[in-house]
């Protein structure tokens, strides 16, 4: 096919070619690759649950009695009591009437938005929304408006000028943004969705398990459960497992079961994954010290970097550090890698030119002494 070689060549020249790097083992805050051990700041295993003995045991037990596969989609025989038990637990955790499991966060966003909206509808999405949200909107064929990142004023301007031209409307955002660790003005978005007769959907992929008294997310922390129509999230990040869900009214769940292609046309998650997810929710409830410590570490890390004159951002366990250019982001990441840290540069097209950064994903396993040493190392490599 024409164009492939040129594309790859151009990416390589620009320093933006993406390549796979197999890790031989990871968990508990470390990653091993090419026979070397790194302190891992690129993992979404925020609470270090992927190696939790009780969650592993839950998965092993289910493997023993249910085997390795669900063998069919939910509607065609792949459904199980475990799936229903997990959905009930999620509904309760999120404070909604019901919940529906999806096989991944990508599939959830693509499958939910495309099922609920169509050609006559409109979706207002934060500029930095995850690719799966954008793909869901594209699949739905609804008109897309992107508002400036976390800018309720710009959203209101768009609603005022365009809402009346469409039938149904959705406002969608993340509650913790993966690339800048920031949080949206959720209360303002709720007010706008009410004034302009829209639904509000949030993606809590990076917030679930971490924010709120019960660890259910930012929606819980801000007391807005009643006001958010669709609360989507994943089991693949802080919950240390795999899969996704949406917490919604019974009516929306029933509608999605009947119309969401990402739900209907895909084999149900295997029982051992469901079982791990159930155990993981129990751990979130029983071990709140994990999330408390994580958020304290993140605050400490961010404040220390700023005190040293560095531009550290975010309001969560994700801490971006401004690098200014592709070259500086790459060279700082390489220098830190040489010092034994797994830290990745974030470059265009993921962020806009000029907004290149290093992204530190903190986890419960990163203890204070590790962070203190890292801060010293960052200061040294950022001076070169």
Is residue 203 part of the annotated active site? The answer reads: yes
> Which one of 43, 44, 275, 382 is the catalytic residue?
44
Rounded to a whole number of angstroms, the minimum distance from the CB of residue 246 to ligand PLP is 12
Tell which residue, 292, 286, 202, has the closest CA to residue 247.
Answer: 202
What whole-number distance in Å separates Cα of residue 381 and Cα of residue 384?
Answer: 6
**Shorter beta-carbon distance to ligand PLP: residue 183 or 328:** 183
Rounded to a whole number of angstroms, the minimum distance from the CB of residue 242 to ligand PLP is 7
**Shorter beta-carbon distance to ligand PLP: residue 196 or 235:** 235
Integer CA distances (angstroms), 364 to 40, 99, 297, in order: 12, 28, 8
Task: Establish if 212 lies at the interface with ligand PLP (CB under 6 A).
Answer: no
Rounded to a whole number of angstroms, the minimum distance from the CB of residue 133 to ligand PLP is 7
Is residue 368 part of the annotated active site? The answer reads: no
- Whether 363 and 320 have beta carbons less than 8 Å apart is answered as no
Can you name the residues that pair with 200 across neighbouring β-strands? 171
- Whether 245 and 235 have beta carbons less than 8 Å apart is answered as yes
Is residue 178 part of the annotated active site? The answer reads: yes
Task: Establish if 317 lies at the interface with ligand PLP (CB under 6 A).
Answer: no
- Whether 180 and 217 have beta carbons less than 8 Å apart is answered as no
Is residue 366 part of the annotated active site? The answer reads: no
> Got the DSSP string for 48-76?
-GGG-HHHHHHHHHHHHHH-S---SBGGG
**Shorter beta-carbon distance to ligand PLP: residue 158 or 246:** 246
Integer CA distances (angstroms), 307 to 237, 311, 357, in order: 30, 10, 18
Task: Establish if 106 lies at the interface with ligand PLP (CB under 6 A).
Answer: yes
Rounded to a whole number of angstroms, the minimum distance from the CB of residue 126 to ligand PLP is 10
Give the angle 125-107-218 at the CA atoms, nearest 5°.
50
Task: Establish if 263 lies at the interface with ligand PLP (CB under 6 A).
Answer: no
Q: Under rule CB under 6 A, how many of the chain's residues touch ligand PLP?
A: 14
Task: Establish if 241 lies at the interface with ligand PLP (CB under 6 A).
Answer: no
- Whether 288 and 359 have beta carbons less than 8 Å apart is answered as no
Task: Establish if 111 lies at the interface with ligand PLP (CB under 6 A).
Answer: no
Given candidates 202, 244, 284, 346, which one binds ligand PLP under the rule CB under 6 A? 244
Site residues for ligand PLP, 192-211, by CB under 6 A, read 203, 205-206
**Is the omega angle on the peptide bond into residue 226 within 30 degrees of 0, that is, cis?**
no
Encoded one letter per residue, x for contact with ligand PLP by CB under 6 A and - for no contact, window 334-353 reads --------------------
Is residue 156 part of the annotated active site? The answer reads: no
Is residue 249 part of the annotated active site? The answer reads: no
Task: Establish if 105 lies at the interface with ligand PLP (CB under 6 A).
Answer: yes
Task: Characterize 181-190 residue by residue with b for buried, 16 or more Cβ atoms within 10 angstroms of its Cβ, and e for exposed.
Answer: bbbbbbeebb
The residues binding ligand PLP (CB under 6 A) are 104-106, 109, 130, 132, 174, 178, 203, 205-206, 234, 236, 244
Just list the catalytic residues: 44, 130, 174, 178, 203, 206, 237
């Amino acid at each position: 096919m024409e164009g492939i070689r040129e594309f790859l060549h151009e990416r390589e020249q620009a320093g933006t070619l993406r390549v796979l790097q197999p890790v031989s083992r990871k968990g508990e805050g470390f990653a091993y690759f090419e026979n070397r051990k790194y302190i891992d700041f690129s993992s979404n295993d925020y609470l270090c649950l992927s190696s939790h003995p009780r969650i592993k045991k839950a998965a092993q037990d289910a493997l023993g009695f249910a085997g390795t596969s669900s063998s069919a989609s939910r509607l065609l025989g792949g459904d199980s009591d475990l799936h229903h038990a997990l959905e009930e637990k999620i509904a309760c955790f999120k404070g909604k009437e019901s919940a529906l499991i999806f096989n991944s966060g990508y599939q959830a966003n693509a499958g939910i938005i495309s099922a609920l909206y169509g050609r006559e509808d409109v979706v207002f999405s934060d500029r930095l929304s995850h690719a799966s949200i954008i793909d869901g909107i594209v699949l739905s064929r609804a008109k897309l408006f992107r508002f400036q990142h976390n800018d309720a004023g710009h959203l209101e301007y768009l609603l005022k000028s365009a809402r009346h031209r469409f039938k149904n409307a959705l406002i969608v955002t993340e509650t913790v943004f993966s690339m800048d660790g920031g949080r949206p003005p959720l209360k303002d978005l709720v007010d706008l969705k009410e004034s302009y007769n829209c639904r509000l959907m949030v993606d809590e992929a990076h917030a679930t398990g971490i924010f709120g008294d019960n660890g259910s997310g930012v929606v819980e922390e801000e007391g807005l459960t009643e006001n958010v129509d669709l609360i989507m999230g994943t089991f693949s990040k802080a919950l240390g497992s795999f899969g996704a869900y949406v917490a919604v009214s019974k009516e929306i769940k029933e509608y999605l079961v009947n119309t969401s292609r990402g739900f209907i046309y895909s084999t149900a998650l295997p029982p051992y994954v469901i079982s791990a997810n159930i155990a993981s929710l129990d751990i979130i409830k029983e071990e709140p010290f994990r999330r408390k410590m994580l958020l304290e570490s993140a605050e400490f890390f961010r404040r220390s970097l700023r005190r040293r004159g560095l531009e550290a951002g975010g309001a969560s366990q994700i801490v971006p550090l401004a690098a200014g250019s592709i070259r500086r982001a790459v060279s700082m990441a390489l220098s830190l890698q040489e010092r034994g840290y797994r830290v990745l540069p974030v470059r265009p097209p993921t962020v806009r030119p000029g907004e290149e950064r290093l992204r530190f994903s903190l986890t419960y396993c990163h203890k204070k002494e590790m962070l203190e040493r890292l801060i010293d190392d960052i200061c040294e490599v950022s001076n070169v």
